């Protein structure tokens, strides 16, 4: 286990963000990755407040049955909530992760007009900023690590990441996996993207990892609507650096991560 300091940026829209700490090890599907909250706020007694309750309740109720869904507030068609679980995982993991994400949202983004949280196995976002169905390849969080590898490792990484891009557009789910030699990779899109938009997002994510992770033997990057990770077989997590990113505002994140290989 290593304690690290990382940094992330959030969408201009989700600009107040922050903080975290991952939980314990043992396949920690609910470990925190990042969160962002809008600066706009709503009143506790408003119709908007009941709309937020309604969409987040629908999100929580749907998670045991599907890896992705979106919901619109009954009273306000501009207020939308959605979630996306890693679609290769069982429904029980999805529903537990989403419950935990909603708890994080209410503690981190209380009364914010919009908010998003990414945990290891799920993503939840709500807001009235018209994000549904829109592609978004802004880099929100990125880190590289592991014990430094060599050129052979880089070639395997590139090939494992290439397999994600080449993977046939998955049927409802957006999860892709790839591997080459000792290196594994996976990616996940948010279900509101078309197959083409998902492929474009995964391509952008893998380019970020190739360009920004040097000889690192593990890396992950989270864009607005997809993420990708690679790691060396049997090797675990991230012992080294986090990468800073540059547009919008930067927020300090303190991340504790473990080797849950
Ligand atoms: C979103 O909702 C917040 C809170 O009610 C409000 O202040 C803001 O103007 C809304 N934004 C849009 C784009 O409707
Ligand atoms: C949002 O949810 C509705 C109702 O389930 C569904 O028909 C629609 O395709 C979804 N839209 C997107 C962009 O995911």
Strands 175-180 and 32-37: unpaired
* Cα torsion angle, 124, 79, 135, 107, sign: negative
Tell me the per-residue pLDDT of 38-86, one tens digit each, with 9 for 90 and over. Answer: 999 999 999 999 999 999 999 999 999 999 999 999 989 999 999 999 9
| Distance (Å) from CA 175 to ligand 2 centroid | 18
C-alpha of residue 70 to centroid of ligand 2, in Å: 6
Half-sphere exposure at residue 224, Cβ-oriented, CA atoms within 13 angstroms: 17
Residue 115 CA to ligand 1 center (angstroms) comes to 13
Residue 256's Cα: distance from chain center in Å?
A: 16
Ligand nearest, relative to CA of residue 128:
1
Q: Is 42 in the pocket of ligand 1 (CB under 6 A)?
A: yes
Structural domain total, the chain: 2
Answer yes or no: do 49 and 116 share one domain: yes
Mean pLDDT score of the chain, rounded to an integer? 82
Annotate 62-83 with b (16+ C-beta within 10 A) or e (fewer): bbeebbbbbbbbeebeebbbbb
Q: Which of 115, 129, 154, 139 is nearest to 35 (CA)?
A: 115
Confidence of residue 235 (pLDDT cuts 50, 70, 90): low
Cα 121 to ligand 1 centroid, rounded to whole Å: 29
Q: Give yes or no for residue 128 CB within 6 A of ligand 1.
A: yes
Check residue 167 and give its pLDDT: 83
Question: Which token pair is 246?
Answer: 């540059």
Based on the fold, state whether residues 110 and 39 are members of the same structural domain: yes
Are 149 and 190 part of one and the same domain? yes
Task: Enumerate the β-bridge partners of residue 177.
Answer: 186
Strand pairing partners for 87?
none
In a domain? residue 231: yes
pTM assigned to the model: 0.83
DSSP 159: H
Q: Judge if the beta carbon of residue 170 lies within 6 A of ligand 1.
A: no
Q: Which CATH number goes with the domain that contains 171? A: 3.30.430.20
Pair 116, 158 in one domain: no
Name the strand (E) or helix (H) holding 107: helix 91-108
Do residues 52 and 76 share a domain? Answer: yes
- CA nearest to 104, candidates 131, 128, 125: 125
Return the pLDDT at 26: 45
For residue 222, the enclosing domain spans: 139-241
One domain, residues 120 and 8: yes
DSSP 211: H
Claim to verify: residue 7 and residue 123 sit in the same structural domain: yes
Same domain, 15 and 74: yes
Establish whether residue 55 lines the binding site of ligand 1, counting it when its CB lies within 6 angstroms of any ligand atom.
Answer: no
Inside any domain, residue 258 = no
* For residue 24, pLDDT beyond 70: no
For 19-66, give the DSSP string: ------SSS-TT-EEEEEE-S-B--TTSHHHHHHHHHHHHHHHHTTT-
Instruction: Return the ligand 1 atom nearest residue 78 CA.
Output: 14
pLDDT at 211 over 50: yes
């Amino acid at each position: 286990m290593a304690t690290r300091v990382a940094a992330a940026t959030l969408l201009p829209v989700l600009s107040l963000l922050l903080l975290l700490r991952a939980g314990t090890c043992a396949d920690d599907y609910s470990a925190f990755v990042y969160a962002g909250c809008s600066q706009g706020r709503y009143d506790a007694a408003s119709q908007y407040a009941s709309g937020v309750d309604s969409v987040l309740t629908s999100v929580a109720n749907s998670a045991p049955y599907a890896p992705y869904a979106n919901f619109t507030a009954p009273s306000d068609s501009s207020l939308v909530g959605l979630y996306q679980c890693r679609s290769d995982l069982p429904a029980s993991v999805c529903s537990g992760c989403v419950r935990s994400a909603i708890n994080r949202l209410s503690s981190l983004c209380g009364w914010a007009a919009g908010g998003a949280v990414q945990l290891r196995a799920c993503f939840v976002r709500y807001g009235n900023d018209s994000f549904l169905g829109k592609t978004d390849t802004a880099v929100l969080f990125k880190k590289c690590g592991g014990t430094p590898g060599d050129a052979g490792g880089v070639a395997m990484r590139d090939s494992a990441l290439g397999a994600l891009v080449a993977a046939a557009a998955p049927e409802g789910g957006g999860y892709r996996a790839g591997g080459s030699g000792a290196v594994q990779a996976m990616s996940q899109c948010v279900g509101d993207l078309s197959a083409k938009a998902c492929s474009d997002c995964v391509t952008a994510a893998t380019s970020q990892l190739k360009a920004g992770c040097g000889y690192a033997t593990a890396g992950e990057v989270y864009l607005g609507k997809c993420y990708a990770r690679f790691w060396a077989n049997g090797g675990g997590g991230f012992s080294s650096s986090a990468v800073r990113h540059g547009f919008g505002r930067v927020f300090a994140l303190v991340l504790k991560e473990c080797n849950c290989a």
